[in-house]
Amino acid sequence: MTEKRLVDAAIIGGGIVGSSAALALRGMGLSVMVLERDLCGAHSSGVNYGGVRRQGRPLTQLPLSRRAHGIWGRLRELIGIDGEYLRSGHLKIARSEADLASLEAYRERSAGYGMDLRMIGAGVLRAQYPWLGARAIGGSYCPQDGHANPRLVSPAFARAAARAGADIREHCPADEMEHDGQCFTVSSGTALQVRSRFLLNCAGAWAGTVARRFGEAVPMVSAHPVMAVTEPLDMFMTLSLGVEGGGIYGRQAPRGNCIIGGSRGYAIDACRARPGHEAIAHVLQRSVELLPALRHAHIIRAWSGTEGYLPDREPVIGHSATTPGLVHGFGFAGAGFQIGPAVGEVLAELVRDGTSTTPIAAFAISRFADAAHLPPEGGP
Amino acid sequence: MSVQVPPVIVGAGPAGIRAAQALVGRGLRPVMVDEAPRWGGQIYRQPPAHFQRSKKALYGWESGRADAVHEAMSGVLDRVDYRPDTLVWNAEAGHLDLLHQGRTSTLAYSQLIVASGATDRILPFIGWTKPGVYTLGGAQVALKYQGCAIGSKVVFLGTGPLLYLIAYQYALAGANVAAVLDTATLADQVAAAPALLARPSVLAKGLYYLAWLRAHGVRLQGGVRALRVLGDARTEALVWADARGEHTLACDAVGFGYALRSETQLADLLGCRFRFDDLARAWLPERDVAGRSSVPGIYLAGDGVGIMGADAAEWAGERAALALLSDNGHALDAPGRTRAAALERRLAGAARFRGGLERAFPFPLRWADQAPDELVVCRCEEVTAGDLRRTVSSTGATELNRLKAFCRVGMGRCQGRMCAAAAAEILAHCSGQQPAQVGRLRGQAPVKPIPFMDCAPADSLPREESA
């Protein structure tokens, strides 16, 4: 017997974007169902590095990121837990004069977005952060950026949405999707059929399938960032760290474990990924260079996840170009955790008002209109 | 053109050694990787080379089998690429990642026998993390490998055949065994007798240990429940209960354990399919009667794939090697086929016996129900039974990995090797599920902690995203 439901908005994917969209839609009084194939926040939203960082994002993302910064400030009020969120400061390290020049140029370009970036020279760096490796010659410091625990925060958004009245269905894949010109019909096997005026595509690395179903394929590929965690160590890293040009990043959780990331893992099937030994070795080597104190530590666990990347490394956020009522929010290229809650609010505005109060023109799916004829997406 | 790589055996216990012997017998030169400094596994662990005590003194009755297994390895040592002191910290399709003396390396394989052994199954009680409290296996290692006892007045607690074997070994070595406290009852053992007759000689040995302990005045008590260890800095007494009430027993050390738990992380990383085993109350890798896993080229033998004991491990190791040979183009000749059939018969008998043991020393089904909220279940991350229960009720978690994500249980140095069995019991109990339904912790590299490598800074870094 098929369960039939009618809601204002059906959301595919219970990650941080889908869950925060559900929470925002409930705040507007709309009825919502989230269809999550696995468990909410169990994929990229829950296994990412946990950076809550504005610094370093392309300018196009800074309005969204700024909005998200405000939401993170109200996290406990929103989701009921602190999620180990700390405004620890974020330091982007320079290892060359060219890096410094690039950081300085970014500081100037992004000056209007309230990040309060400060350039730090070698002397201050050594004095304030003596635990940094010798290759760091300076950096750019963002005092209010920080980090949080994604495996706590992302599922808590889903629970908050459920408490607010969203109908959250886990282990509930959206197998069939139709649009009759007025209304979407989404089916999960023969168990569930939900009809809705709006459909939100928040399916993360698997969102390309949904978009293609409605005739707007995007050239998205999956990739698998690798993270590793040490045993708990005495607190020494007061900051969340990145490196200009990328390659490695690190933070220390309140429990004392250092979480470091970089390199790429591989897929073992459509849903799961793991770090290979070369990726683990790479992360370990690079992090010792950045943080010599780790030389005598051990890593106790390494992992990866599955994340969607578009060629320009910008997400797709906005109305479908083919199907009225379809709204996309995916493709965050490994950097969706911080802006996710703001994207959720924007998607809810698009449903209610048709427009967003935060500029999102750069993320329109129409920029891939030429890709509509693409074959099914492959590996990275 | 592919280069032929030799078969690889992980583990130099009874299963690994008999596998190596069988492969060498067919002219192959296997690579054998073992975490321990000398071969023998946990059960037949050898003391350091300069050690003087005889095997008879260390193993008691088992010394004959220990000798045979040790000599089997000595006999093929020149035809095995033997790599002791080497941890396999990761396994992927086609290669293993090794750690030896602080350095990592990679070992290619095309056929692999995993004989990864077992550790104690731990059901914690209040005070189990205090100095002076050891697992049964830990107590046995202290005796075999270091020639010392865990205390001067020792209580052994828990259930399973190991409980009595170790008490016997301790008493035989001259230690003061204050009591052997078994959560199983005499009625359990009587009910199990028919199945235990599948291996009368082993049953006789067990009865001998019991009789010997009794004859030497060691207190044997069934139907008990462990309550707590007393003492601040170290163990001063054990408090336990039975139908008559609470009892306090002075002691300076406790060895405890509830049978054994298979070390299945490598099989998991290798992608072997698992199934829930009711007898073991655990998810175990699938294998056929010959030891073939669900992944072609991967063979599983010994206690690492289901607790059957040391003798069965020898048979399973040899049987898996014969399977590997026949899958590798070395068709078994008539004596080989006869041998394979005989090994399978013995293993079937061992499986019947194992069923009897589970009846004789049943899992204490009320453990999760009785575990107090303040009990530390995960010692690495200091997660209590109450934390687990509160997390289940506040998040609705019904699956073990989810519970781990929310409250850190199994997230520390041991990666759940010590606490996952107990955490699964509590999760199942407080979410109204069977243990099979709560799942199992996903295997993640590294299998055990590995050091950051001592590497020179690289000159160029790839340009990647930063999170």
Under an 8 A CB cutoff, do B461 and A247 touch? yes
> A 179-208 residues with CB below 8 A of B?
none
Chains A and B form CB pairs within 8 A to the count of 127
Give the contacts of B445 (CB within 8 A, at least 6 positions apart). A274, A275, A277, A280, A301, A302, B89, B90, B91, B97, B269
Instruction: Please tell me whether residues B53 and B99 are part of one structural domain.
Output: yes
Among all residues of chain B, which has the CA nearest to that of A42?
B402
Instruction: Please tell me whether residues B314 and B429 are part of one structural domain.
Output: no
User: Nearest C-alpha of chain B: how many angstroms from A308?
Assistant: 13
Query: Which residues of chain B make contact with A297, given a CB cutoff of 8 A?
Result: 451-452
A277, A304, A331 — which closes off a domain?
A304
Query: Which residues of chain A make contact with B90, given a CB cutoff of 8 A?
Result: 277, 280
Residue A378 belongs to some domain of the structure: no
Q: Is A376 helix (H, G, I), strand (E, B) or coil?
A: coil
Residue A75 belongs to some domain of the structure: no
Instruction: Please tell me whether residues B40 and B17 are part of one structural domain.
Output: yes
Q: What is the pLDDT of residue A247?
A: 84
- Rounded to two decimals, the pTM is 0.94
Residue B279 belongs to some domain of the structure: yes
In order, the DSSP letters of A23-47 are HHHHHTT--EEEE-SSSTT-SHHHH
CB of B467 less than 8 A from some CB of A: yes
What CA–CA distance (Å, rounded) separates A346 from A64? 9
pLDDT (tens, 9 = 90+) of chain B, 467 residues, equals 345 899 999 999 999 999 999 999 999 999 999 999 999 998 888 888 777 777 777 666 678 899 999 999 999 999 999 999 999 999 999 999 999 998 899 999 999 999 999 999 999 999 999 999 999 999 999 988 888 999 999 999 999 999 999 999 999 888 999 999 999 998 888 888 888 888 888 888 888 899 999 999 999 999 999 999 999 889 999 999 999 999 999 999 999 999 999 999 999 999 999 999 999 999 999 999 999 999 999 999 999 999 999 999 999 999 999 999 999 988 999 999 999 999 999 999 999 999 899 899 999 999 999 999 999 999 999 999 999 999 999 999 999 999 999 999 999 999 999 999 999 999 999 999 999 999 999 999 999 999 987 543 333 334 344 44
CB of B462 less than 8 A from some CB of A: yes
Which H, E and C letters describe B255-304, residue by residue? EEEECEEECCHHHHHCCCCEEEECCCCEEEECCCCCCECCCCCEEECHHH
Task: Write the CATH number for B103.
Answer: 3.50.50.60
Instruction: Please tell me whether residues A315 and A215 are part of one structural domain.
Output: yes
CB of A289 less than 8 A from some CB of B: yes
Least confident residue range of A84-88, A184-188, B24-28, B189-193: B189-193
Q: How far is CA B21 from CA B9, B76, B220, B332, in A?
A: 11, 6, 41, 16
User: Nearest C-alpha of chain B: how many angstroms from A118?
Assistant: 19
Task: Write the CATH number for B401.
Answer: 1.10.10.1100
Among B97, B402, B406, beta carbon nearest to A277: B97
What CA–CA distance (Å, rounded) separates A20 from A161? 7
Query: Which residues of chain A make contact with B271, given a CB cutoff of 8 A?
Result: 268
Long-range CB pairs of B34-38 (<8 Å, 24+ gap) are: B34/B10, B34/B82, B34/B83, B34/B84, B34/B85, B34/B86, B35/B85, B35/B86, B35/B87, B35/B88, B36/B12, B36/B84, B36/B85, B37/B84, B37/B85, B38/B84
Residue B268 belongs to some domain of the structure: yes
Q: Which domain holds residue B78?
A: 8-119+261-331
Instruction: Please tell me whether residues B199 and B321 are part of one structural domain.
Output: no
Residue B97 belongs to some domain of the structure: yes
Under an 8 A CB cutoff, do A225 and B104 touch? no
What CA–CA distance (Å, rounded) separates B115 from A330? 44
Give yes or no for a contact between B26 and B325, defined as CB atoms under 8 angstroms apart.
yes
What CA–CA distance (Å, rounded) separates B218 from A148? 55
Cross-strand pairs, A52: A146
Nearest to A373 by CA among A255, A265, A217: A217
Give CA torsion, residues B242, B247, B253, B259, to 10 deg. 0
Under an 8 A CB cutoff, do B467 and A297 touch? no
Instruction: Please tell me whether residues A14 and A117 are part of one structural domain.
Output: no
A304, A327, A353 — which closes off a domain?
A304
pLDDT tens-digit map of A31-56: 999 999 999 999 999 999 999 999 99
Instruction: Please tell me whether residues B184 and B229 are part of one structural domain.
Output: yes
What CA–CA distance (Å, rounded) separates B415 from B318? 31
Cross-strand pairs, B126: B228
Q: Which domain holds residue A265?
A: 90-143+225-304
Least confident residue range of A238-247, A341-350, B380-389: A238-247
User: Nearest C-alpha of chain A: how many angstroms from B432?
Assistant: 19
Query: Which residues of chain A make contact with B412, given a CB cutoff of 8 A?
Result: 231-232, 300
Query: Which residues of chain B make contact with A300, given a CB cutoff of 8 A?
Result: 412-413, 415, 446, 449
CB of B271 less than 8 A from some CB of A: yes
Q: What is the pLDDT of residue B458?
A: 38
Specify the length of chain A in residues.
380
Residue B342 belongs to some domain of the structure: no
Instruction: Please tell me whether residues B133 and B222 are part of one structural domain.
Output: yes
Q: What is the pLDDT of residue B459?
A: 36
Among B104, B450, B466, beta carbon nearest to A56: B466
Under an 8 A CB cutoff, do A268 and B271 touch? yes
Tokens representing residue A292 in the block = 């010599």
Q: How far is CA B190 from CA A307, B260, B409, in A?
A: 58, 22, 38
CB of B463 less than 8 A from some CB of A: yes
User: Nearest C-alpha of chain B: how many angstroms from A202?
Assistant: 20
Which H, E and C letters describe chain B, residue by residue? CCCCCCCEEECCCHHHHHHHHHHHHCCCCCEEECCCCCCCCCCCCCCCCCCCCCHHHHHHHHHHHHHHHHHHHHHHHHHCEEECCEEEEEEECCEEEEEECCEEEEEECCCEEECCCEEECCCCCECCCCCCEEEHHHHHHHHHHHCCCCCCEEEEEEECHHHHHHHHHHHHCCCEEEEEEECCCHHHHHHHHHHHCCCHHHHHHHHHHHHHHHHCCCEEECCCEEEEEECCCCCCEEEEEECCEEEEEECCEEEEEECEEECCHHHHHCCCCEEEECCCCEEEECCCCCCECCCCCEEECHHHHCCCCHHHHHHHHHHHHHHHHHHCCCCCCHHHHHHHHHHHHHHHHHHHHHHHHHHHCCCCCCHHHHCCCCCEEECCCCEEHHHHHHHHHHHCCCCHHHHHHHHCCCCCCCCCCCCHHHHHHHHHHHCCCCHHHHCCCCCCCCCCCEECCCCCCCCCCCCCCCC
Q: What is the pLDDT of residue A85?
A: 98
Under an 8 A CB cutoff, do B453 and A288 touch? yes
Residue A359 belongs to some domain of the structure: yes
Residue A60 belongs to some domain of the structure: no
CB of A155 less than 8 A from some CB of B: yes
Cross-strand pairs, B246: B241
Strands, E assignment, A26-144: 32-35, 51-52, 90-94, 118-120, 138-142
Instruction: Please tell me whether residues A120 and A8 are part of one structural domain.
Output: no
CB contact burial B65-83 (16+ within 10 A = b; e otherwise): bbeebbebbeebeebbebb
Instruction: Please tell me whether residues B240 and B283 are part of one structural domain.
Output: no
Instruction: Please tell me whether residues B54 and B98 are part of one structural domain.
Output: yes
Under an 8 A CB cutoff, do A300 and B405 touch? no
